[in-house]
Chain A
């Protein structure tokens, strides 16, 4: 259908981004193809140590899911996206396909081994999230291709993560966000994945910050090194949410806090966090 309708047709999932753009008349699609009536596109399953999310699974469903709760970083994200109304409509597949630089899901999922399964006229393909998102608002999805499923590996034993985003009120995009997923063995960090959101065209992996933690005992010094590396890796723009310099500093501060929470969670503690408000 999309190939018939041509380039001006748009796919409607939850409408989290498209509806506001249409309301402001920035987007003016010739046709809307509503996916919401396709059955079997919303589910959360656990299979072979992996979680599978149907593309149209709503943020609110993930927030309430006991399966998703096994990976706390998913709950951090799902529970804090925009406001209740948006969480009831917005979908995980739609968020990834939109590739908004300020979107929450890409930042979180990129710290987990995540595969995006896409479906097009020529069949199905699966690719890592890091290859799926190419640039701001740009993915490898063809015009007549849809996200079908998001698959992510359950972190190994000793895994702990946290996602923190600072936003000024519920419906607005975060000023900056940070996702941290650690694998701990005692007090040694075996592996670390960090992502920064809203401070670049896509979610940024500050590799040097990860390297600063990997194989180390986490101390104030290693945390400071990770913060500094994150600050340098961030590549934000000045806008009404904050100046570029401030956003770098904020992203680094959020990394530090997320590390602390991730460590506590890796040790089995229950820690409730979500988006931070001014």
Chain B
């Protein structure tokens, strides 16, 4: 940062969001607000079966309905397109993945045809007239069953096993040989849930026959990934695909995987003669068939501990359920290893990781993507070991945490944790919740027969990932590192305009980008216009641009910072010429004629209009040696990564590690079994904070999502693959009335890996799931119950406490004492 900027320091200020005026007054522009001339409406025909052969599809009845323009089937799509690129290696690279099912359906809700009509209601009517004959096949709804391959989903692959890899580090055998205690946990299960953005998926596509260009207006949250898939699938030059996003009402990762629907809308538009086609997903479609989070089962876990309760080794077998199509997903087979040891110091471990397809909705990135399952597993293991060794949960963690003086800390698999202070976070959380006080109350309450538990969850939100980790899944993939683009310019009249390749969904990118540029140029953020929302034609994006994976504060703002500095350097050269001085003599600020550059020696200044005018509209005044100046500066920031060692599965996988430490006091009512949160604390460390209210807001959001996931939100399938939670009557997203009063605290351990010390944040590691499991566990250990599932509601607690259906400790957990 320039010395002038340090004085003002907009970064770190609680600047109100620039977006607020638009969004809070209902003046935002969302995809469904867009109405185009001659626009048509698309409705999908979806499978009622989880697994079935498509015997026949008859769309003639739908096509005959007045107002229906055309229908599209999977067979037509297969004739006109290439199957989607598969990320995983053989044999799953061989599967034929089309956006409409061709010969069989593989999950309830899978689209197999589409109708296009003059109005949404007509499209709905037409969809009911499509006749489909199915021949049901055996459904596979459980990942471990799927691995027996009795019923195969993708014949081209010949197996339901998508991927398997052994992640082994250190000397596991030795650690177990020397262990004072060995704790075995038979199984644990992380449930399937999703995100419930206020706005569902929306796609408007126009495949213009005149210039063979496809124009998308949509709310996909990773468009540069989508266009790479779409160009290959549709067989068009990537430059012919324009994607524009506007305001987005939440994504949480789920909107990354809308590219199949984007493909169908484009094909439908082409078939309709180039008229724009809009698809607005219904809530039930969103719940049943957009994307769910990964479900994961943890089998045969063995933990070696020394006599002090320090964990020395963990071995386990993890089975991940990715639903019917892997798509983006095999990346989830490695992304969890960004946080391989969690916040703990153990050096020896072996995780046997498998992923299977099942006849359920495909999974996709879902806030806390792939890491939260693993972090929940580690937190459960730590609590179970603590209880078995009779060590308090807080003490157990302190004995096992990576210590503050060990940062930067290299994990057994080569990741570098940039900074952190977990004991300090714990102390702050204890102070905020009144730990000692609650411990006393708990003792009294237990004597009264009440079930009160206090739980701790410590998690990581790894941000700015190294796409080279994809090569651990498939060594032939051409992706590595990470980059983000930004553009910073002085427009003809001297306005400062910043464009970024991100598509924010409430993260306040307009505000934080303006804060960064304001510091570089020493002007007020209100003088800076920030263009967010993806648009391929702004030419700022790289192959990784989008908004996902907790990274904007690092990758996005580093790109903005780089572009602003590049612009400043050009402005300096220009001002030195205009003010007849040298560059060292210049200072930036705001004068009587607005933002300007001043010569300290003479006091003469030139404002931004004057500078821009020289380049854009008064160029005869410019000497040839300055012709190269454009005042339109694109900068690409690249993360300093190497390609990981794919054989050893070793390398730096993410740049920053934000941490969360949550504490909850939960009571299970003895009559109604309703779990109630009596107190809740969320302590966050995302390094240097760019804008405190934006960070705090995202912490509340992630906390709500996590509490909802822990107690309310569960995607339930029956034995034949019917989804039982397809509306908000059965899938219950958390609302304000369900939320406890969250006490927020934060510490800052600046990251040495980012220019500003900031760490990516927003996903929050799903800390509430771990914390509530821990608190319920604390409440129920005495009843001999082990919380073996990440989802717990009144009904499951009732079953646990009455019928002891949830695993009893003596069956689920075994302890070997060798001291």
**Is there an interface contact between B732 and A25, defined as CB atoms closer than 8 Å?**
no
Is A58 an interface residue, CB under 8 A from the partner?
no
Is A184 an interface residue, CB under 8 A from the partner?
no
Is B440 an interface residue, CB under 8 A from the partner?
no
Contact flags A135-147 to B (C-beta < 8 A → 1, else 0): 0000000000000
| Across-interface contacts of A277 in B (CB, < 8 A) | 737-738
Is A170 an interface residue, CB under 8 A from the partner?
yes
Which of the candidate stretches A89-97, A196-204, A248-256 sits at the interface with the other chain?
A248-256
**Is there an interface contact between B733 and A169, defined as CB atoms closer than 8 Å?**
yes
**Is there an interface contact between A172 and B728, defined as CB atoms closer than 8 Å?**
yes
Is A242 an interface residue, CB under 8 A from the partner?
yes
Is A278 an interface residue, CB under 8 A from the partner?
yes
| Across-interface contacts of A278 in B (CB, < 8 A) | 674-675, 711-712, 732, 738, 793-794
**Is there an interface contact between A245 and B732, defined as CB atoms closer than 8 Å?**
no
| Across-interface contacts of A175 in B (CB, < 8 A) | 794
Given contact pairs A240-B724, A249-B673, A169 touches B735 in the complex (Cβ within 8 A): yes
Contact flags A224-248 to B (C-beta < 8 A → 1, else 0): 0000000000000000111101100
CB closest chain-B residue, reference A23: B282
| Across-interface contacts of B448 in A (CB, < 8 A) | none
In whole Å, how far is A104's beta carbon from the nearest beta carbon of chain B?
15
CA distance A171 to B725 in the complex (A): 15
Is B602 an interface residue, CB under 8 A from the partner?
no
Given contact pairs A242-B794, A246-B798, A249-B798, A169 touches B732 in the complex (Cβ within 8 A): yes
Is B180 an interface residue, CB under 8 A from the partner?
no
**Is there an interface contact between B730 and A25, defined as CB atoms closer than 8 Å?**
no
| Across-interface contacts of B672 in A (CB, < 8 A) | 166, 249-250, 253-254, 276
**Is there an interface contact between B799 and A168, defined as CB atoms closer than 8 Å?**
no
**Is there an interface contact between B729 and A166, defined as CB atoms closer than 8 Å?**
no
| Across-interface contacts of B727 in A (CB, < 8 A) | 24
Is A105 an interface residue, CB under 8 A from the partner?
no
CA distance A65 to B440 in the complex (A): 45
**Is there an interface contact between A240 and B725, defined as CB atoms closer than 8 Å?**
yes
Contact flags A159-186 to B (C-beta < 8 A → 1, else 0): 0000000101111110100000000000
| Across-interface contacts of B733 in A (CB, < 8 A) | 169
| Across-interface contacts of A172 in B (CB, < 8 A) | 728-729, 732
**Is there an interface contact between B798 and A166, defined as CB atoms closer than 8 Å?**
no
| Across-interface contacts of A253 in B (CB, < 8 A) | 669, 671-672
CA distance A241 to B725 in the complex (A): 10
**Is there an interface contact between B673 and A246, defined as CB atoms closer than 8 Å?**
yes
CB closest chain-A residue, reference B732: A168
In whole Å, how far is A250's beta carbon from the nearest beta carbon of chain B?
6
CA distance A243 to B716 in the complex (A): 14
Is B795 an interface residue, CB under 8 A from the partner?
yes
Complex partner residue of B799 from A166, A169, A243, CB under 8 angstroms = A243
CA distance A172 to B730 in the complex (A): 8
CA distance A171 to B578 in the complex (A): 66
| Across-interface contacts of B675 in A (CB, < 8 A) | 278
Contact flags B653-677 to A (C-beta < 8 A → 1, else 0): 0000000000000000101111100
CA distance A246 to B795 in the complex (A): 6
| Across-interface contacts of B732 in A (CB, < 8 A) | 168-169, 172, 278
Complex partner residue of B729 from A173, A243, A252, CB under 8 angstroms = A173
8 Å CB contacts to A: which residues of B538-597?
none
Contact flags A251-273 to B (C-beta < 8 A → 1, else 0): 01110110000000000000000
Is B142 an interface residue, CB under 8 A from the partner?
no
In whole Å, how far is B379's beta carbon from the nearest beta carbon of chain A?
23
* Residue of B128, B732, B795 ringed by the most chain A CB atoms within 10 A: B795
CA distance A24 to B728 in the complex (A): 12
**Is there an interface contact between A25 and B737, defined as CB atoms closer than 8 Å?**
no
In whole Å, how far is B448's beta carbon from the nearest beta carbon of chain A?
14
CA distance A276 to B41 in the complex (A): 41
Complex partner residue of B671 from A25, A170, A256, CB under 8 angstroms = A256
| Across-interface contacts of B735 in A (CB, < 8 A) | 169-170
| Across-interface contacts of B799 in A (CB, < 8 A) | 243, 245-246
Is B643 an interface residue, CB under 8 A from the partner?
no
| Across-interface contacts of B738 in A (CB, < 8 A) | 168-169, 277-278
In whole Å, how far is B335's beta carbon from the nearest beta carbon of chain A?
31
In whole Å, how far is A170's beta carbon from the nearest beta carbon of chain B?
6
**Is there an interface contact between A243 and B795, defined as CB atoms closer than 8 Å?**
yes
| Across-interface contacts of B674 in A (CB, < 8 A) | 166, 276, 278
8 Å CB contacts to A: which residues of B95-127?
124
CA distance A241 to B674 in the complex (A): 13
CA distance A89 to B386 in the complex (A): 54
Is B734 an interface residue, CB under 8 A from the partner?
yes
CA distance A250 to B798 in the complex (A): 10
**Is there an interface contact between A242 and B712, defined as CB atoms closer than 8 Å?**
no
CB closest chain-A residue, reference B284: A24
| Across-interface contacts of B795 in A (CB, < 8 A) | 242-243, 246
CB closest chain-A residue, reference B671: A253
**Is there an interface contact between A240 and B716, defined as CB atoms closer than 8 Å?**
yes
CA distance A241 to B799 in the complex (A): 14
| Across-interface contacts of A24 in B (CB, < 8 A) | 284, 727
In whole Å, how far is B10's beta carbon from the nearest beta carbon of chain A?
40
| Across-interface contacts of B737 in A (CB, < 8 A) | 169-170, 277
CA distance A276 to B671 in the complex (A): 14
**Is there an interface contact between A240 and B798, defined as CB atoms closer than 8 Å?**
no
In whole Å, how far is B678's beta carbon from the nearest beta carbon of chain A?
14
| Across-interface contacts of A256 in B (CB, < 8 A) | 671
CB closest chain-B residue, reference A250: B672
In whole Å, how far is A220's beta carbon from the nearest beta carbon of chain B?
12
| Across-interface contacts of B734 in A (CB, < 8 A) | 169
**Is there an interface contact between A240 and B730, defined as CB atoms closer than 8 Å?**
yes
CA distance A253 to B673 in the complex (A): 9
CA distance A214 to B712 in the complex (A): 39
Given contact pairs A245-B798, A246-B794, A253-B672, A168 touches B712 in the complex (Cβ within 8 A): yes
Contact flags B780-804 to A (C-beta < 8 A → 1, else 0): 0000000000000111001100110
| Across-interface contacts of B793 in A (CB, < 8 A) | 168, 278
**Is there an interface contact between A171 and B711, defined as CB atoms closer than 8 Å?**
no
Contact flags B729-748 to A (C-beta < 8 A → 1, else 0): 11011110110000000000
* Residue of A170, A252, A256, A277 ringed by the most chain B CB atoms within 10 A: A277
CB closest chain-A residue, reference B731: A240
CB closest chain-A residue, reference B734: A169
| Across-interface contacts of B724 in A (CB, < 8 A) | 240
In whole Å, how far is B806's beta carbon from the nearest beta carbon of chain A?
13
CA distance A245 to B725 in the complex (A): 20
CB closest chain-A residue, reference B725: A240
In whole Å, how far is A249's beta carbon from the nearest beta carbon of chain B?
6
| Across-interface contacts of B802 in A (CB, < 8 A) | 245, 249
CA distance A241 to B735 in the complex (A): 17
| Across-interface contacts of B712 in A (CB, < 8 A) | 168-169, 278
In whole Å, how far is A79's beta carbon from the nearest beta carbon of chain B?
13
In whole Å, how far is A223's beta carbon from the nearest beta carbon of chain B?
11
| Across-interface contacts of A246 in B (CB, < 8 A) | 673, 794-795, 798-799
CA distance A41 to B733 in the complex (A): 36
CA distance A268 to B738 in the complex (A): 31
CA distance A253 to B427 in the complex (A): 39
CB closest chain-B residue, reference A171: B728
In whole Å, how far is A85's beta carbon from the nearest beta carbon of chain B?
13
In whole Å, how far is A171's beta carbon from the nearest beta carbon of chain B?
6
- The 21 listed contacts between A and B (C-beta, < 8 Å) are A169-B712, A171-B728, A171-B729, A172-B732, A173-B729, A241-B730, A242-B794, A243-B799, A245-B799, A245-B802, A245-B803, A246-B673, A246-B798, A249-B671, A249-B672, A249-B673, A249-B798, A253-B672, A257-B671, A276-B674, A277-B737
Q: Which 10 A-B pairs have the closest CB atoms?
A: A253-B671, A240-B730, A242-B795, A253-B672, A246-B798, A246-B795, A168-B732, A169-B732, A277-B737, A172-B729
Chain B residues engaging chain A, CB cutoff 8 angstroms: 124, 128, 284, 669, 671-675, 711-712, 716, 724-725, 727-730, 732-735, 737-738, 793-795, 798-799, 802-803
> 8 other contacts beyond A245-B802, A277-B737, with CB at 8 A cut-off?
A24-B284, A24-B727, A168-B732, A169-B737, A241-B730, A245-B799, A253-B669, A277-B738
